[in-house]
Amino acid sequence: MAIAVSHAAYGALFDLFPGQVQLFDALMDSLGLAPPKGEHDLDQPINTPAEIRDPNRWQPVRLPDGHGGFIVQTFLGAQWGVVQPFAVAPASERRPSGPRRLPVDRYEYVRQSGEILDLSADLDDERKVIAEYWAPNLGTEAPPGRWSEFAGFVSRRDRHTLTQDVVMFFALSGALLDASILAWDAKRAFDSVRPITAIHFILRGQKVRA
């Protein structure tokens, strides 16, 4: 029982504080327990923030930490795709066909990257604000919590009873849960490139407008 609890605690702490994993590993070692390795697979990506080794794979990027420095992304919740959905088939059975990859789909790879770059360059103030509103900002409820905000507005507007609120929020939360599971399953299955990496790879050394 103690071993099982230790491994469960390790997994929870790893998810909440991935930057302190060495501390948790050392504690597990002191207990004579080998730290679980499943979460580490995607914590060691092919690409680094400074080097694109495979233009088809995910690249962690540096993000401002709000104090003049930077933090390097890690794959948070790498196990989330294996959670059993509430109202749909297992995520692996609903996985999309997959991304465009070099060199087989070079035309589409380049075209789609250019399309994203053009969209970025043509953003007006209204579209920028919309993008920021839906951005997944750490430490906030965005983006899935936005839907709960909307539901709260509907509840107040329509003067819901407690029963109506229970039904609405239960259905909404279940849908958000299932959507997140399916999305994370695809993210881990394909470990795919994001537009910022593809654009850096295709247009390296060139100046672009965005």
CB-based contacts of 61: which residues, under 8 Å, 6+ apart? 49, 72, 73, 196, 197
Residue 73 has pLDDT above 70, yes or no: yes
Phi, psi of 48 (to 5 degrees): -110, 165
Which of 63-77, 90-104, 135-149, 162-176 has the weakest average pLDDT?
Answer: 135-149
Using 50, 70 and 90 to split pLDDT, how confident is the model at 112? very high
pLDDT score for 43: 53
Identify whether 99 is part of a domain.
Answer: yes
In a domain, 62, yes or no: no
In a domain, 56, yes or no: no
Tell me whether residue 37 is in a domain. Answer: no
CB 77 within 8 A of CB 15: yes
Does 86 reside within a domain? yes
159 within a domain of the structure (yes/no): yes
Across 156-173, average pLDDT: 96
Q: How many CB atoms lie within 10 A of CB 51?
A: 8
6 within domain boundaries: no
Q: In which domain, by residue range, is 169 found?
A: 80-202
**Does position 192 have pLDDT exceeding 80, yes or no?**
yes
Query: What confidence score (pLDDT) does residue 40 get?
Result: 46
pLDDT in the model for residue 39: 46
What domain count does the chain have?
A: 1
Residues 6+ apart with CB under 8 A from 113: 195, 198, 199, 202
**Is residue 27 assigned to a domain?**
no
How confident is the prediction for the chain on average, in pLDDT? 88
